[in-house]
C-alpha cells in the first residue's frame, strides 16, 4: 500500500530524473553541433584505452597524493551508489532496507559495511581536497582563469559530497540505535563499522526524535543525490560521465601526429594535377567547402566539444605548459573552459533568438594565447582523461592563417621562404649540400 510519503518520493524522483534527462540530452545535442570526425576505427584499442585511463585511472596517479585521494572518491562514489537501488525501492514501496530481504545476510552485511568504510574515506578525502584548494592554495587552482565561479564550483562539489556522506552515516547510526531500542519498523540489523562511532551524537534521544533524524538523513541523502546529479550538468563535475566517452574517442595516434585536413588535400591535389581544369564548375550536388580551421565552436569537431564538456579544470595541462610556466597568457585549461562557455552561450542565444555577434576566436581566446603555443604536447600528455586542447589551438591557428592571413609577420616571412626556396630561411635550394665541403 502506498502511503503519502511514497507518493511524494515518486513525484520528486520522477521530476528530478526528467529534468536531468532533458538537460543531459541538450548537452549531447550541443556536442553534435560540432563538425564530423571519424573515430569509429580501432574499437578494441578504444575500449582498452577507456578501461585503462578512465576506469583504471592510470594517469591520475602520476601525481600520487591527488591521484590516490581521487581514486578513493571515485571508487567510493561508484560503490556507494549501489545503495541507491535500495533507497529508490524503499522510497517507492515503503519497504525498509529492501536489499536485506533478497540478499544473504553475509552479503548484506558486507555491502553496508563496505559502504560505510568508503563513505568515511570519501569524506576525509574531500576534506583534504578542500584544504589543498583553499588553505594550501596549490598553484594550479589559483591561475587566472580560476575566477570566482570555477573556484566556487569546485568547493560546492566537495561540500556536496561531504554532506551526502555525512547523511548516509547519520542515517545508519540512528537506524542502528533504533534497532537496539527495538523501535517499530526498525527490525533489520546491519554492520556499522563506522557509524557506530557516531552514536554519541544522538545519545539520550527519544525514539521519536531518532526516527525524525533517521528520516531526515534518508531524505537528505536521496534528494541531495538528485540535486547533485542535476548540478553536475552545469558544473565542471560533468567528467564523472564524460571521462568515459572522452577516453574512448581519444586520439590514439602518436601525440606528434596532427591531422591532415582533407579539404586541403583535395585542393592541393587539384593544384598539382596538370590535367585539371581550374575553371571547371563544381560538380553538381557537391557541398561547398567548409571554412579552413576554426573561428567559432561550430567549426570544431564533436570530439573537441565533448572534450570541453569533460574538462574538470584540474589544471595539470596548464601546470605543465611551458608557455604558461614562463608567464605567457596561454593556458590550455582556459582553452577548454572557453570552448565550453562559448558553446553554452551560442546555444542559449540560438534558443532565445538573440543576435549573436561573438565568436570563440577573439571574444574568448586571443591570438596572443594561440601564438604562444610550442605544440610540445605537455598538456595532452598530462591530461588524466586524454583531452586535447592542442588540437583546438591548431584549428584556430589554421583559421587565422588560411582564412585571415593573420599570422605574425615573422611567420609570414617564414611561409614566403618555404614557398620560394623550400626552406624556412632565405637560402637557395642549390646550397643545400654546402655543408659537405665546409
Partner 1 sequence: MSELKVKTMAEFMAEGKEADILFWVGSAGSFDDRAKKITRSFVEIMNKAGVNFGVLGSEESSSGDAAKRSGNEFLFQMQAMMNIEVMNAYNVKRIVTTCPHSYNTLKNEYKGLGGDYKVQHHTEFIAELLSEGKLKVTGDLSGKKITYHDPCYLGRANNVYEIPRELIKSLGVELAEMKRSKRKSFCCGAGGAQMFKDPEKGQQDININRTEEALALKPDIIATGCPFCNTMMTDGVKSVNEGAAQVKDIAELIAENI
Instruction: List residues binding partner 1 (CB under 8 A).
Output: 253-258, 260-261, 264-265, 267-269, 271-272, 292-293, 320, 322-323, 325-330, 368, 371-378, 381, 394, 396-402, 407-408, 410-411, 413-415, 418-419, 422-425, 427, 429-436, 438
Neighbours of 119 (CB within 10 A): 24
Nearer Cβ to partner 1 (5/263): 263
What's the grid cell of residue 183? Answer: 523501535
Q: How far apart are the first and last CA of the chain?
A: 97
Are 208 and 216 spatial neighbours (Cβ–Cβ below 8 Å)?
no
Nearer Cβ to partner 1 (117/394): 394
Nearer Cβ to partner 1 (112/323): 323
Q: How many angstroms separate the CA atoms of 332 and 369, rounded?
A: 9
Q: How far is the CB of 58 from partner 1 (least distance, A)?
A: 13
Q: How many angstroms separate the CA atoms of 335 and 360, rounded?
A: 9
Q: How far is the CB of 408 from partner 1 (least distance, A)?
A: 5
Residues contacting 385, CB < 8 A, separation 6+: 53, 54, 59, 239, 243, 246, 247, 310
Among 20, 59, 438, CA closest to 247? 59
Nearer Cβ to partner 1 (207/375): 375
Q: How far is the CB of 263 from partner 1 (least distance, A)?
A: 9
Q: How far is the CB of 275 from partner 1 (least distance, A)?
A: 15
Q: How far is the CB of 364 from partner 1 (least distance, A)?
A: 17
Neighbours of 357 (CB within 10 A): 6
3-state secondary structure of 269: helix
Nearer Cβ to partner 1 (204/256): 256
Nearer Cβ to partner 1 (145/153): 145
Q: Where does residue 246 rank: exposed (0-12), middle (13-18), buried (19+ CB within 10 A)? A: buried
Q: How far is the CB of 256 from partner 1 (least distance, A)?
A: 3
Amino acid at each position: 500500500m502506498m502511503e503519502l510519503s511514497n507518493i511524494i518520493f515518486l513525484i520528486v524522483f520522477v521530476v528530478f530524473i526528467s529534468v536531468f534527462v532533458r538537460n543531459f540530452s541538450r548537452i549531447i545535442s550541443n556536442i553534435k553541433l560540432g563538425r564530423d570526425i571519424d573515430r569509429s576505427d580501432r574499437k578494441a584499442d578504444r575500449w582498452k584505452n577507456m578501461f585503462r585511463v578512465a576506469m583504471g585511472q592510470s594517469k591520475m596517479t602520476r601525481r600520487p597524493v591527488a591521484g590516490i585521494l581521487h581514486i578513493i572518491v571515485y571508487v567510493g562514489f561508484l560503490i556507494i551508489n549501489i545503495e541507491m537501488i535500495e533507497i529508490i525501492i524503499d522510497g517507492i514501496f515503503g519497504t525498509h532496507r529492501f536489499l536485506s530481504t533478497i540478499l544473504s545476510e553475509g552479503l548484506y552485511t558486507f555491502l553496508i559495511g563496505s559502504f560505510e568504510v568508503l563513505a568515511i574515506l570519501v569524506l576525509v578525502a574531500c576534506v583534504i581536497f578542500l584544504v589543498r584548494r583553499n588553505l594550501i592554495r596549490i598553484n594550479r587552482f589559483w591561475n587566472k582563469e580560476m575566477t570566482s565561479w570555477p573556484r566556487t564550483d569546485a568547493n560546492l562539489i566537495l561540500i556536496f559530497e561531504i554532506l551526502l556522506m555525512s547523511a548516509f552515516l547519520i542515517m545508519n547510526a540512528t537506524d542502528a540505535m533504533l534497532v537496539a531500542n527495538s523501535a517499530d519498523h526498525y527490525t533489520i540489523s546491519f554492520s556499522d563499522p563506522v557509524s557506530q562511532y557516531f552514536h554519541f551524537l544522538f545519545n539520550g534521544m527519544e525514539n521519536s526524535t531518532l526516527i525524525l533524524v533517521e528520516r531526515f538523513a534518508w531524505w537528505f541523502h536521496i534528494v541531495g543525490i538528485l540535486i547533485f546529479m542535476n548540478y553536475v550538468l552545469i558544473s565542471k563535475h560533468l567528467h564523472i560521465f564524460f571521462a568515459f566517452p572522452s577516453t574512448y574517442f581519444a586520439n590514439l595516434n602518436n601525440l606528434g601526429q596532427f591531422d591532415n585536413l582533407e579539404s586541403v588535400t583535395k585542393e592541393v591535389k587539384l593544384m598539382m594535377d596538370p590535367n585539371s581544369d581550374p575553371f571547371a564548375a563544381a560538380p553538381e550536388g557537391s557541398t561547398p567547402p567548409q571554412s579552413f580551421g576554426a573561428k567559432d565552436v561550430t567549426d570544431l569537431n564533436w570530439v573537441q566539444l565533448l572534450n570541453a564538456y569533460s574538462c574538470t579544470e584540474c589544471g595539470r595541462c596548464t601546470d605543465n605548459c611551458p608557455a604558461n610556466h614562463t608567464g605567457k597568457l596561454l593556458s590550455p585549461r582556459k582553452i577548454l573552459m572557453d570552448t565550453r562557455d562559448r558553446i553554452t552561450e551560442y546555444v542559449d542565444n540560438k534558443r532565445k533568438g538573440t543576435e549573436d555577434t561573438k565568436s570563440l576566436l577573439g571574444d574568448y581566446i586571443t591570438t596572443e594565447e594561440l601564438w604562444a603555443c610550442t605544440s610540445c604536447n605537455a598538456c595532452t600528455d598530462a591530461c588524466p582523461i586524454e583531452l586535447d586542447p592542442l588540437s583546438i589551438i591548431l584549428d584556430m591557428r589554421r583559421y587565422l592563417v588560411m582564412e585571415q592571413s593573420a599570422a605574425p609577420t615573422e611567420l609570414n616571412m617564414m611561409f614566403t621562404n618555404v614557398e620560394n626556396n623550400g626552406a624556412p630561411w632565405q637560402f637557395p635550394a642549390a646550397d643545400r649540400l654546402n655543408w659537405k665541403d665546409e
